[in-house]
Amino acid sequence: MRSESREQVKALSLFGDMSEAAFERLLAGSYFQRFPAHVVLIREGDPADFLHVVVEGGVELFSDWRDRETTMSIARPVSTFILAAVIKDAPYLMSARTMEPSSILMIPSENIRAAMTADSAFSIAMVNELAVCFRGVVKAQKNIKLRTGVERLANYLLRLGAQQDDGGKVTIPIEKKTLASLLGMSPENLSRAFATLKPYGVDVDGAVVKFAANSDLKDFAKPTPLIDDPLA
Amino acid sequence: MRSESREQVKALSLFGDMSEAAFERLLAGSYFQRFPAHVVLIREGDPADFLHVVVEGGVELFSDWRDRETTMSIARPVSTFILAAVIKDAPYLMSARTMEPSSILMIPSENIRAAMTADSAFSIAMVNELAVCFRGVVKAQKNIKLRTGVERLANYLLRLGAQQDDGGKVTIPIEKKTLASLLGMSPENLSRAFATLKPYGVDVDGAVVKFAANSDLKDFAKPTPLIDDPLA
DNA sequence: CGTTCAATTGATCAGCGTCAAACTAGGTGG
DNA sequence: CCACCTAGTTTGACGCTGATCAATTGAACG
């Protein structure tokens, strides 16, 4: 692992408070690996042997049942995923695949659990991390149960706008297919949802979407921090 | 608080490992109170001042947006709710109201955070609790995104059957209205969903639902531990 | 330069919500 | 204890949202 990458991982709030020595122990037996795009990293139901950290690229977390599949969330650098399964030593609830060529750090679950008992600052960091994750899923749940597809899309665009701040335009960082699934609709429906938002000043050209930040769109979307603010 | 109730709370996996003295400190400044049915205990958006514990009765966690409302989950004795907001000292993401007359223990958030820094066993218990909560929401999310309304109902009935084990019949412990919202459908639709399941051996009489445990229903519902097993 | 897959568009259909009305059950007050 | 009243539940009719199927266009990659 390049030392730059190592520093980025160490800087995560999960690991930031650890001593260098403790972090070194944590990394013992870890793998740092580059994967091509569209590679399945973990499969739901498998035992949680490693905590994964996306260092570069992007990972899609998804689930299936019978012949259906849905995207649950997207993990971007630098962040961990499937933390809860690791802690409980339970089967993964979601599968994961790379969306692009990605660098992944894999830390043995056993190391995580050991660090937790050894280092109380680490377990507190863990509590905080899990609380954030929990609130993230709750927000996603509210998003799905309280909004229609078009409303979810509108709020997604606003969220992108807030984090990209590219002056009136955003670039969708994932395939539309994946976005559709993430938002809980079919790809066809996503196309139509974009068309529905046209009267509110939304203009789509490939992955680039133009709209005024303080616009009709916001009136339509009615965002609330209790669903849309990733920090709240 | 009756000592019996106190013991039940102390027996929670969150508090089980604490010393009596530490538990006593935790309870300082707590309230233990009986509420009538249909009382709002907390409102989403409010600051998380107290960790709540349902000791008797039942509490509905719900959210709203614009003019819509949805039931997010049900808290039964003896369990905590809104733990994550307490930890992050962030606004509640969900509102809570009693479904029946209920006894609620309210522990100041500050005490929880203090106990976490003072007692590393407690923060580890907290990590475990949060991991379980997280996995619970993820399962709920999968349930909603991957299944139709009728499928969710079928699996809900099987889950009830597994935990009640009343030989071929279950009693729905909440109002159908609430169940509908929990399952993500309208009350009218829930009625029709029951009708749809009739050919699979499901027979409804008020809150009592009869069906054979190893039946057509199970073939139809196709339950999987990765969604339906509360322990997995 | 052809193959493959994503994205769009149209047509159709199923699931589910809404509105309305009838019915039922639970709780209240006489 | 009973009548009443309110609220929950059920049933029917209807319409909208969104899924599916099919066909076409467009873009990426070997």
pLDDT at A183: 96
Give domain status of residue B116, yes or no.
Answer: yes
Any domain includes A141? no
Is pLDDT at A83 greater than 90 in this prediction? yes
- What does the pLDDT read at residue B110? 96
* Residue with token string 């990972």: A59
B99 contacts chain A (CB < 8 A): no
pLDDT value, residue A1: 77
What pLDDT, on the 0 to 100 scale, is given for residue A84? 97
Question: B168-205: string of b/e by CB count within 10 Å (b at 16+)?
Answer: ebbebbbeeebbbbbbbbeeebbeebbebbeebebebe
CATH code for the domain in which residue A164 is found: 2.60.120.10
Instruction: Assess if residue A119 is contained within a domain.
Output: yes
Q: Phi then psi for A117, rounded to 5 degrees? A: -75, -30
Nucleotides of C under 7 A from a protein CB: 6-11, 15-20, 25-26
Domain that holds residue B94: 3-131
Q: Please tell me which residue, B2 or A15, carries the higher pLDDT value.
A: A15
Q: Flag the least confident range among A42-46, A160-164, A201-205, A213-217.
A: A213-217
Answer whether residue B158 is part of any domain. Answer: yes
For residue B50, the model assigns a pLDDT of 97
Report if residue B174 sits inside a domain: yes
CA distances from A101 to A4, A33, A56, A176, B17 (A): 18, 11, 8, 18, 45
Calculate mean pLDDT across residues A3-31. 92
* pTM beyond 0.85: yes
Of B79, B106, B131, the residue that ends a domain is B131
Same domain? B122 vs B156: no
pLDDT above 90: residue A157: yes
- B112 and B192 within one domain: no
In angstroms, the CA B109 to CA B88 distance is 10
Do B11 and B115 share a structural domain?
yes
Are B131 and A88 an interchain contact pair (Cβ–Cβ within 8 Å)? yes
Amino acid, res. B127:
V
Do residue B127 and residue B158 come from a single domain? no
> Do B82 and B159 lie in a common domain?
no
All residues at 6 or more sequence positions from A182 whose CB lies less than 8 Å from its CB, including other chains:
A71, A72, A73, A74, A174
The answer on B82 and B163 residing in a single domain is: no
Listed residues B99, B131, B163: the one ending a domain: B131
Same domain (yes/no): A186, A100 = no
Q: How far is CA A176 from the centre of its chain?
A: 16
B142: buried, middle or exposed (CB in 10 Å: 19+, 13-18, 0-12)? buried
Q: b/e string for B39-52 if b means 16 or more Cβ within 10 A? A: eebbebeeebebbb
Does residue A136 sit within a domain? Answer: no
Query: What's residue B216's pLDDT?
Result: 87
Q: Look at residue A130 and give its three-state secondary structure.
A: helix
Region A24-34: mean pLDDT is 94
| Token pair for B135 | 């996995």
Identify whether residues B39 and B114 lie together within a single domain: yes
| A143 within a domain of the structure (yes/no) | no
Asked if B137 and A84 touch (Cβ cutoff 8 Å), the reply is no
Look at residue A155 in the predicted model and tell me its pLDDT. 95
Provide the number of CB pairs (under 8 Å) joining chain A to chain B: 148
Find residues 135-164 of chain A whose CB sits inside 8 Å of chain B. Answer: 135, 137-142, 144-147
> Residue A193 CA to nucleotide D23 C1', Å?
21
Q: What is the pLDDT along chain B (232 residues), one digit of tens a residue?
A: 788 889 888 999 999 989 999 999 999 999 999 999 999 999 999 999 999 999 999 999 999 999 899 999 999 998 999 999 999 999 999 999 999 999 999 999 999 999 999 999 999 999 999 999 999 999 999 999 999 999 999 999 999 999 887 778 899 999 999 999 999 999 999 999 999 999 999 999 989 999 887 778 999 999 999 999 999 8
Domain boundary (A106, A131, A156) is at A131
pLDDT of residue B5: 86
| Shared-domain flag, residues B9 and B107 | yes
Long-range contacts of A66-69 (CB under 8 A, 24+ apart): A66/B146, A66/B222, A68/B146, A69/A181, A69/B146
**Cβ of residue B192 near strand D, that is under 7 Å?**
yes
Distance CA A99, CA A112 (A): 26
Does residue A121 reach within 7 angstroms of strand C, measured from its CB?
no
Together in a domain, A114 and A166: no
Confidence of residue A165 (pLDDT cuts 50, 70, 90): confident
pLDDT, chain A, mean: 93
DSSP string, chain B: --HHHHHHHHTSTTTTTS-HHHHHHHHTT-EEEEE-TT-EEE-TTSB--EEEEEEES-EEEEEEETTEEEEEEEE-SSEEE-HHHHHHT-B-SSEEEESSSEEEEEEEHHHHHHHHHH-HHHHHHHHHHHHHHHHHHHHHHHHHHHS-HHHHHHHHHHHHHHHH--SSEEE--S-HHHHHHHTTS-HHHHHHHHHHHGGGT-EEETTEEE--SSSHHHHHH---HHHH-TT-
The residue-averaged pLDDT of A140-168 equals 92
Q: Judge if the beta carbon of B19 is closer than 7 A to nucleic acid strand C.
A: no
The pLDDT confidence band at residue A86, using thresholds 50, 70 and 90, is: very high
Do B65 and B180 lie in a common domain?
no
B66 touches strand C (CB under 7 A): no
pLDDT (0 to 100) of residue B189: 94
Model pLDDT, residue A25 = 94
CA-to-C1' distance for A38 and C3, Å? 19
- Within a domain: B40: yes
A68 with A166, same domain? no
Contacts of A64 in chain B (CB under 8 A): 146
Total domains present in chain A: 2
